Amino acid sequence: MKVLGHKIELLTGLLLHDVTMAGLQELRFPEEKPLLRGQDAAELPFMNPALGLENSDTFLLAVDTDWKEHDIETPYGLLHVVIRGSPKGNRPAILTYHDVGLNPTAESCVFADKLCFNTFFNFEDMQEITKHFVVCHVDAPGQQVGASQFPQGYQFPSMEQLAAMLPSVVQHFGFKYVIGIGVGAGAYVLAKFALIFPDLVEGLVLMNIDPNGKGWIDWAATKLSGLTSTLPDMVLSHLFSQEELVSNTELVQSYRQQIGNVVNQANLQLFWNMYNSRRDLDINRPGMVPNAKTLRCPVMLVVGDNAPAEDGVVECNSKLDPTTTTFLKMADSGGLPQVTQPGKLTEAFKYFLQGMGYMPSASMTRLARSRTASLTSASSVDGSRPQACTHSESSEGLGQVNHTMEVSC
């Protein structure tokens, strides 16, 4: 497909890129532990009415699923993974990686509307997508609910090592390749994963990614902040803008309680310290520097219009190939667009999947009604771009016209 695309603010579109993926041959079947089957609600930890968790509909939504837990051995230690469904033919798995403090697999604690990805994946329109893909949530080491505290002197994996743990997950379940969805620190890990193992990644949705390491001034400021602020406060300032911290007190307070109660604080501190000691993501726009490294797969960058990560996402966009990158800036979403605007993000994700040849007949509901679509002959606008190719099993009708979807977000 020839694709028309550029840096798009407040817009999302269809962007493709040639990419080839290598399959993995080994398939192992781990012990599976269904979450919450038959477990009485009174036995669940962290049942705090202050967080609005007493709602029975929320509880039923959390337990009436086929989520299963797995502990997977990797070169850098165990990874806790929660998976839903089974591989669907040649389709990739959707693999998520959470931000610091936002444990993604606390369904066992019934935080069904509070955590990193639950609001997004439990959103009604998202069910049309998840029935076609196996979903795999990865916890950073020691960040899952009920994790034991790491022993004194434990060396937390570097950001590069966290990325190098993911091929073990892919191999463990027999996935051929994945579509990654990451937020903040998780977005950085998935970008590293795609740089080191490009054949395992077919697409990336990166929310709130900051491609820059901290300089000495930032490092010193973080150290000073650690002397005067609690760990939950520092994490909250990473997740929310100052305006949100002041104006959206109910949401912020619920996350403050989760960050302080759900994840082991010593383990969280190690993850926080490692993220803040990250190096620059080694990417450059092709043609800007000789032998530039870049993400070879289609990428959708997402950030809220009032997010602390906005500058970092804009800079990341400037370093990626504009023919394979979609930039989505979401209005009224703040620092957690997957929580505050799940409908808009779901619709954008559908377009992204369709751009790779999946779900060509998926219904477009919310954003489709507000879009203006121009169907332009690709040869008249961008005839020099090669036709894209993905691993999708069906791409009829794609590649003949260029679709520019101008969507109000």
Highest mean pLDDT among 160-169, 227-236, 242-251: 160-169
Q: Is residue 133 part of a domain?
A: yes
Residue with tokens 């959707």: 94
Does the pLDDT of residue 2 top 60, yes or no?
no
State pLDDT tens for residues 194-213. Answer: 999 999 999 999 999 999 98
Q: Is residue 24 part of a domain?
A: no
Check which CATH number belongs to the domain holding 154 and give it: 3.40.50.1820
What is the per-residue DSSP string for 348-392?
A: HHHHHHHHTTS-TT----HHHHH-EEEEE-HHHHHTTSPPP--S-
Q: What's the CA gap between 189 and 160, in Å, rounded?
A: 7
Q: What's the gap between Cα 53 and its chain centre?
A: 24
State pLDDT tens for residues 140-163. Answer: 999 988 899 999 999 999 999 999
Q: Is residue 376 part of a domain?
A: no
Q: How confident is the model at residue 389 (pLDDT cuts 50, 70, 90)?
A: very low
Q: What's the CA gap between 202 and 179, in Å, rounded?
A: 5
Q: Is residue 189 part of a domain?
A: yes
Highest mean pLDDT among 3-12, 208-217, 227-236, 300-309: 300-309
Q: In the chain, how many domains are there?
A: 1
Q: What's the CA gap between 303 and 74, in Å, rounded?
A: 31
Range of the domain at 180: 68-359
End-to-end CA distance of the chain: 26
Q: Is residue 155 part of a domain?
A: yes
283: its two tokens: 């990417």
Q: Is residue 74 part of a domain?
A: yes
385: its two tokens: 């771009």
Lowest model confidence (mean pLDDT) among 22-26, 338-342, 374-378: 374-378
CB atoms within 10 A of CB 311: 12
Residue with tokens 């997010």: 307
285: its two tokens: 């726009």
Q: Is residue 26 part of a domain?
A: no
State pLDDT tens for residues 339-372. Answer: 888 888 889 999 999 999 997 766 655 554 444 3
* Count of positions (residues) in the chain: 409
Q: Is residue 41 part of a domain?
A: no
